Amino acid sequence: MKLNIALLAGDGIGPEVIDQAVKVCNAIASKYNHELNWRPALTGAAAIDVVGEPYPDETHEICVSSDAVLFGAIGHPRFDNDPSAKVRPEQGLLKMRKKLGLFANVRPTFTFPSLIDKSPLKRERIEGTDLVFLRELTGGIYFGKRGREDNGNTAYDTCTYTRKEVQRLAKKGFEMAMKRSKKLCCVDKANVLESSRLWRETVQAMEKDYPEVTVSYEFVDAVAMRLVQWPNSYDVLITENLFGDILTDEASVISGSMGLMPSASIGDSIGLYEPIHGSYPQAAGKDIANPLATVLSAAMMFEDFNLLDEAQAIRDVVNKSLDQGIVTEDLAEGAKAYKTSEVGDWLASRI
């Protein structure tokens, strides 16, 4: 297969972890006879520095004319403590999601047998966890009307959803549940929020089209608690943008390190694959960040191209590296910590 892949390294540790994913993908390509054409483009603070815009038009052109986007991370501390900053790197990510129509963010959470004791949660709670969040990504409070009133002394952000937006996300959730254990949880706050009531009513109306799927409706606060108590009780969870943002960070604790969790953002056409961690500026340039979340995101990309052996080969070699302790410092715990680039080299050579 010949694939054009837009490569958006972004900020902080983005370029370092992306480099490792590229090594791994190239190794896969030569093993399975694919041709990967990498098309680098600017995004985030790195793009603001060069063109004054976190998601430049040229980058968008490269993305839409590619078969997939592999993305590193976005964000820079110089913007974080400056509420008056007019342009922020994160706006680039939001604009990109919107312009590429990436309305569903698929965030799996699973445990790695060799890391089970690295999680702060007890082994018996988390063993066997295999759940996936479908987070709505282009609506809700992230994109609603916002502003200031009263001379800047009052601020508001609004959460708006249309039935269509809920339906298309829920459809992906039902389809995913059909392929897995036929269990779907709709996470909302329907006891308080009108937008949540629209979510619940829309999903309820879709149940008849998927008679085999058992749907539960749970409030987000209760899910936040049960997620770390009984993660095993969940399989596919669908939720709105902000709830999904928060719960997926929480869920990453189950796996033992945020540096492990991949994600795919999908919509009607092109997919974007990125680690769920951020730009981790303290580690930027030090060659210490864990590249596995990005590498596993690349596996999700191969899976979406229906290249299932390729995806599995990546997961297998990642598991091997964990078993053999070829890990970065976040997982080393006193044992030898490998550099980001060494982990990437090891994975590529084993493939």
Please identify every residue annotated as catalytic: 142, 189, 221, 245, 249
188 binds Mn ion (CB under 5 A): no
Q: Do 348 and 23 contact (CB within 8 A), yes or no?
A: yes
Q: Which residues of 55-142 form beta strands (DSSP E)?
A: 68-73, 104-110, 130-136
Size of the site for Mn ion (CB under 5 A): 1
Q: Which does 75 bind (CB under 5 to 8 A by kind): ligand IPM, Mn ion, none?
A: ligand IPM
Tokens representing residue 101 in the block: 């129509």
Amino acid at 286: K
Residue 66 or 297: the one with the smaller Cβ distance to Mn ion is: 297
Binding to Mn ion in span 76-105, by CB under 5 A? none
Rounded least distance, CB 327 to Mn ion, Å: 23
Distance CA(155)–CA(140), nearest Å, equals 17
DSSP code for 27? H
Rounded least distance, CB 105 to ligand IPM, Å: 7
Residue with smallest beta-carbon separation from ligand IPM:
90
Closest CA to 160 of 173, 181, 143: 143
Residue 28 or 74: the one with the smaller Cβ distance to ligand IPM is: 74
| Helical spans, DSSP H, in 256-307 | 292-304
Rounded least distance, CB 348 to ligand IPM, Å: 27
Residue 265 or 321: the one with the smaller Cβ distance to ligand IPM is: 265
Rounded least distance, CB 135 to ligand IPM, Å: 8
Residue 195 or 321: the one with the smaller Cβ distance to ligand IPM is: 195
* Helix or strand run (H / E) with residue 226: helix 220-229
Give the strands of the sheet with 35-40, arranged side by side.
35-40, 2-10, 68-73, 271-275, 262-266, 104-110, 130-136, 236-239, 183-188, 214-219
Rounded least distance, CB 248 to Mn ion, Å: 7
The residues that touch ligand IPM, with contacts defined as CB under 6 A, are: 74-75, 90, 93, 245
Residue 93 or 170: the one with the smaller Cβ distance to ligand IPM is: 93
Q: Work out which of 19, 67, 136, 245 binds Mn ion, going by CB under 5 A.
A: 245
